[in-house]
Structure 1
Amino acid sequence: MRYMKGVVIEGKNKMAVSDHCPVPEPENIVPTGALIKPMIWSPCTSDAHLCATGAASLPYLVGKAVGHEMCGVIKAVGSDVHDFKVGDPVIVCAVMPVWRSLEAQDGQAKQRQDNMYAGIDYPDRGGSFVEEYYIRDADMNLAKIPEGVTMEQAVMVPDMMCTAFEGVQALNMKFGQSVAILGIGPVGLMAVRAAVLQGAGSIYAIGSRPICFDVAKQYGATKCIDYHNEDYIDQILADNHGPVDNVVLCGGTEKELSKGLQMLKNGGTLVNLSAYFGNSSIPIEPAVWGFGYGDKTIKGVGCGGGRVLLSRMANLIQTGRVEPEKLITHRFHGLDQIPAAMDLFLNHDRTLIKPVIYND
């Protein structure tokens, strides 16, 4: 075992660079594994939520490297890795499904994960905000970056695209149906684009920041609604001539679930893509749920993963159907700047959508 630099959570609202992040020696990685040198990182709102709470829901992460959005170049591969070689530029899976598992056999591979968020304190690795990232199933959880796709575009794949597209797909939306997307940060904006590609009719993008409204319109939102207006739900119901067919919840606090149900028709589906790490209860007003018998479906959907999904998302970029680089508002250079990029989230910077950090 050796140690390297990485960005860790030290406590509530506090991240720092540590020199004590573990990584195996190349000769000690598992036969199916690989070591990746990061070329670009991107912090996420879930990282920010963890930091803001001091990792209250996952206390073993305090002092461990965090991060899960990264692309890089392969530095070493195990003897049983067949489809990748040293020097390949790759998209690195955010969630690391365990493909040799009962969950995978049952069609739910992402429910068994080999990463730091899985509830296990792995002694030999943490998150991807490190100098070298160790993964244990290279052939299944990496994807080559296609020709013509930039690093900035590719780093939006592992979480932003994989989460948003997985969530919109879970709606089972019919062509021409309406959808309200509550919270248009980077995941919500990707959900807008995913809804367009899934054939949605009216798409309501609910947020407050002008910069996000601009991108939502470019991605195909038909109407942008400011949630600071007390009657914003009434505005949507009036414009749609009634409740919407589908809701995707991508931000806010635990209270937003009830608001999403309020604008959803009986028989509709709400997909939640938000992460709640504060251990608070989630209140639901009975009336907005049809008093329990409104046939409203609530799905909590997590980020998808694996090589096939990563490759499909990259193909959407390569063919020009998705332009994820529109999400990027801030650029930094060097691992030491990751805490500064994270501060943009913690300080609720209204010019922020998504930052990236180059490892140069």
Structure 2
Amino acid sequence: MKAFVLKKHGEVGYVEKPLPILRDAHGVILKPVLVSPCTSDVHTVWQGSPKKPDLTLGHECIAEIVETGSEVRDFHPGEIVAVPAITPDWSQPDVAVNYAHAGHNFSAHMLGKSIDGAFQERFYLPYADQNLAHIPAGMDLDDALMCVDVVQTGFTAAEEAHVHAGDTVVVMGIGAIGLAAIMGAKLMGARTIYAVGSRPDNVKIAESMRDESCLVEVLNYKTLRSSLPEGMHPLANSTNSPVVNYVLHRTGTRGADKVLICGGNDYTLAEAVDMVKYGTGVVSNVMYFGADPEREDRELRNLEDPRNREENRRNTEIDGLLLPKFSMGRGMAGKTLKFSLSKGGRQNLERVLRLIREHDLHPGIFITEHYTGLDKAKQALYDMKDRKAIKISVEI
């Protein structure tokens, strides 16, 4: 069968693989129906840690069940199901406490990371009854496809921040995840949402979510001009960001109740800390911060140098993120920072699918390109890398 794989760091292509077999009684064989390349696939190819040879990519998928193991009770061959991007390893003893990292870091992010993903003619998934999700009757499959990763991740940002009714929320980054975070924060009762981004198609979708119950205002960080409110200490805005200044102005210098980081760069965390309020403010991050390879290499060399290890540990350069001491109250600001992998698994995905269906929401509008055929997976991945689309659906 044909499979779209990571050949080596920075190189992808198609190879022939044998059809997968049912390795466990709790597993299933799936045939992809719709797939979508993700920015996480981009990270895996061009930024990620080493992976097994010819790893099949892809973790956003609507699929048809081909074969089920003898222990699978809730799903049957022929069903069209949603496959969560986050599929926990339910064999781990601590999975009930934190399935996202049970046993080892990112253990729940298996598809296209540690096991072959969905960009092949058939693929295997373990723990079907805990990981697959039923799609509500009548739900558009593009909407369901966006739920398996995009909506779950955006909702995770809002839910981990505990957005409350009446909150002022800043969503940093309005790619697909940020747009889903706006959707989630609004659903949780946010009164005002400042969405930070500049891409015209994304701006149009973000602004379309504005209504009488919730003001959604897009802040274009490239063109926005705003000075620090009079009387505030200059260090209150450590990066001199006009977005920070604007939010402080609009909130009477108190800052936003919640800041959801769904995109940005290495200065985004500092900006979020500067503009979230003291005492009860929450910064919730679901963005992947890529490594600086040169800095990381220097860090490793210093730590591994046997000649003066203790001194190097004290003086080593860290490939890290900035936290402004002033806005952190020198460590006592009462601001909460959360860094989360998307929620996943069957229970969460079916909950999200129900919410989307019950509230007549349509995240399928995030899909701005539609392709047909597995042979289009490479083009779709490069289009995501080059930001030629918000999201892409590939019909297999």
Mark the runs of 5 or more structure 2 residues left unpaired by the alignment.
225-240, 293-318
Q: Is the 8 A contact 1:167 1:302 kept in 2?
A: no
Q: Once superposed, what is the RMSD of the aligned Cα atoms?
A: 2.0
Matched AA of 1:251:
G
Q: Is the 8 A contact 1:23 1:134 kept in 2?
A: no
Are 2:259 and 1:247 aligned?
yes
Give 3-state SS (helix, strand or coil) of 1:156's partner.
helix
- In the other structure, the counterpart of 2:216 is 222
Equivalenced residue count is: 343
2:340 aligned to which of 294, 298, 301:
301
TM-score relative to the length of structure 2: 0.82
Matched AA of 1:16:
G
- In the other structure, the counterpart of 2:314 is none
Mark the runs of 5 or more structure 1 residues left unpaired by the alignment.
none
Give 3-state SS (helix, strand or coil) of 1:282's partner.
coil
Q: Distance in 1 between matches of 2:67 and 2:111?
A: 24
Matches within 5 A, 1:8-87: 8-20=5-17, 23-25=19-21, 28-53=22-47, 55=48, 58-61=49-52, 63-87=54-78
% identical aligned pairs: 30
Q: Is the 8 A contact 2:143 2:362 kept in 1?
A: yes
Deviations 1:30-60 (A, max 9, x none): 111101100000111111122222x3xx202
Q: Distance in 2 between matches of 1:297 and 1:209?
A: 30
- In the other structure, the counterpart of 1:270 is 283
Matches within 5 A, 1:118-157: 121=114, 125-157=115-147
Q: Distance in 1 between matches of 2:109 and 2:155?
A: 21
Task: Give the deviation of 1:9 after TM superposition.
Answer: 2.2
- In the other structure, the counterpart of 2:4 is 7
Q: Which moved more, 1:224-233 or 1:303-312?
A: 224-233
Matches within 5 A, 1:325-340: 325-340=364-379
1:145–1:111: structure 2 CA closer, same or farther, 3 Å change rule? same
Give 3-state SS (helix, strand or coil) of 1:83's partner.
coil
Give 3-state SS (helix, strand or coil) of 2:95's partner.
helix
Q: Is the 8 A contact 1:181 1:250 kept in 2?
A: yes
- In the other structure, the counterpart of 2:93 is 102
- In the other structure, the counterpart of 1:355 is 392
Matched AA of 1:46:
S
Q: Distance in 2 between matches of 1:61 and 1:43?
A: 19
Matched AA of 1:202:
T
Q: Distance in 1 between matches of 2:52 and 2:39?
A: 16
Matches within 5 A, 1:140-289: 140-220=130-210, 222-228=216-222, 229=224, 231-242=242-253, 243-267=255-279, 268-278=281-291, 280-289=319-328
Q: Distance in 2 between matches of 1:164 and 1:256?
A: 17
Are 2:80 and 1:89 aligned?
yes
Give 3-state SS (helix, strand or coil) of 1:265's partner.
coil
Larger Rg belongs to: 2
TM-score relative to the length of structure 1: 0.89
Deviations 1:94-115 (A, max 9, x none): 1111234332332x22223355
Q: Distance in 2 between matches of 1:281 and 1:94?
A: 27
Q: Distance in 1 between matches of 2:76 and 2:111?
A: 27
Q: Distance in 2 between matches of 1:66 and 1:155?
A: 16
Q: Distance in 2 between matches of 1:282 and 1:334?
A: 40
Q: Is the 8 A contact 2:26 2:129 kept in 1?
A: yes
Q: Distance in 1 between matches of 2:37 and 2:68?
A: 26
Deviations 1:104-158 (A, max 9, x none): 332x222233553798x5xxx4122121121111111011222111221111111
Give 3-state SS (helix, strand or coil) of 1:184's partner.
coil
